Amino acid sequence: MAAGTDDAIIKSLVERMQRLTIVPVGNLINKSELGSLSFESGQRYFELVKMLTQALTESALSLAPIQLLREIDSAIKELETAYNTIAAFKIEGDNPKGRRDACLGELARGYNSLARAGSVVLSLFNLFDPKRIEIEESKDKLANILTAMREAANSALSEAKTGLEKQLIEAQNIVAAIKDTSGIAGVSRHTGIFENEANQHNRMAGRWLVAVVVLGVITGAFSGLSLVQLLFPSWLGLVGSTTVDTANTLQLVVSKIIVFSLLYVATLWASRNYKAHRHNTVANKHRQNALATFESFVVATQNDATRDAVLLRATEAIFSHGYSGYSAVESDSSHPQIIEVLRGTLPKQQ
């Protein structure tokens, strides 16, 4: 068939499909006049025919072979007949429901015929559509660009992750070193607290020692004079007295006993305070020495168990009741604990 004939057929098909497209669906259903016998059940086919004819009108029918165009022409004739019959349908007459159903069947057959032939035309149009080909090429280019960008981003991310992991490890090592150093320095820094306490108690112990010496001298002098007065009264100019006054003598003896007792108690009290301050001096000095040597022991070893043991002993030296020799009730029980600590730091033999 000549190309001019094909063009005429295509032009005729386009015009007829456009007329089907613009037919109002509400007029075809005609529910206001037909009521329950309206073509409302065929509304789906009306809408499908409208969409299909509109798509075929906008497609390149020139791509379809002549046989396919004839099939489309035949299907459109069926639809035109069905549309005309539906538009002219009247209730009056025999078997209106049967006649309506026959019209709906003719409409369905026309749509199915047009759908079979039209689907092939639309497939050809989508296959050879220049816009679609351009879109596909653009999609491929975009996919390649995205793939390249993704690979570059993954590579950069991997390098950045590796660098960050190295920096994180270095930072963790630095923080660990700072913690160790600050912990050791912090422990050593507290030696000043105990040094001040030791110096203060040492000064107070010196003052109480002077008080003990003074009270001891006064008590000794008083007791010596009283004894001389009792045994050798002539040395004190009391030889000429021959009359013994019992009341005066008793009063004198009692007063001397009271004074001696007060001096003795004062001497014991001063001595007790001296020993208490000396005890605190020795205890705080011991704590100062423990913290001052803590850093040396920790730095000298890399064994965590030994370091923990040293920290434990330093803590016990601070918070435990140390042995100074100035308290009558204190006892030194730290030696078994030292053995247990050292036993825990030694490796177990298999």
Residue 35 within a domain: yes
**Same domain flag for 315 and 253:** yes
Answer yes or no: pTM beyond 0.95.
no
Residue 63 within a domain: yes
Other CB atoms within a 10 A radius of the CB of residue 193 amount to 14
- pLDDT, one tens digit for every residue, the chain (350 residues): 445 567 788 888 888 888 888 888 888 888 788 888 888 888 888 888 888 888 887 776 777 778 888 888 888 888 888 888 888 888 888 888 888 889 889 888 988 988 888 788 777 676 655 555 556 666 677 777 778 778 877 887 888 888 888 888 887 777 666 556 555 555 656 677 778 888 888 888 888 989 889 988 898 888 888 777 766 666 655 544 545 567 776 777 788 888 888 888 989 898 888 888 888 888 788 777 777 776 666 666 667 777 777 767 766 766 665 665 666 655 554 444 544 554 455 455 44
Q: What angle do CA 101, 102, 103 make, to 5 degrees?
A: 90
**Same domain flag for 75 and 195:** no
d(CA 313, CA 290): 8
Q: How far is CA 341 from CA 113, 120, 322, in A?
A: 99, 92, 18
Residue 152 within a domain: no
Residue 250 within a domain: yes
Residue 19 within a domain: yes
- Name the residue range of residue 279's domain: 189-330
Cβ contact 45:77 at 8 Å: no
**Which phi and psi (to 5°) does residue 227 adopt?**
-65, -40
Number of domains in the chain: 2
Please, which residues have CB within 8 angstroms of residue 332's CB and are 6 or more apart in sequence? 323
Q: What angle do CA 242, 243, 248 make, to 5 degrees?
A: 130
Q: How far is CA 50 from CA 56, 68, 117, 187, 332, in A?
A: 10, 20, 15, 91, 108
Please report which helix (H) or strand (E) contains residue 74, including its range: helix 66-87
CATH, residue 102 = 1.20.120
Q: What angle do CA 80, 83, 86 make, to 5 degrees?
A: 150
**Which phi and psi (to 5°) does residue 64 adopt?**
-80, 145
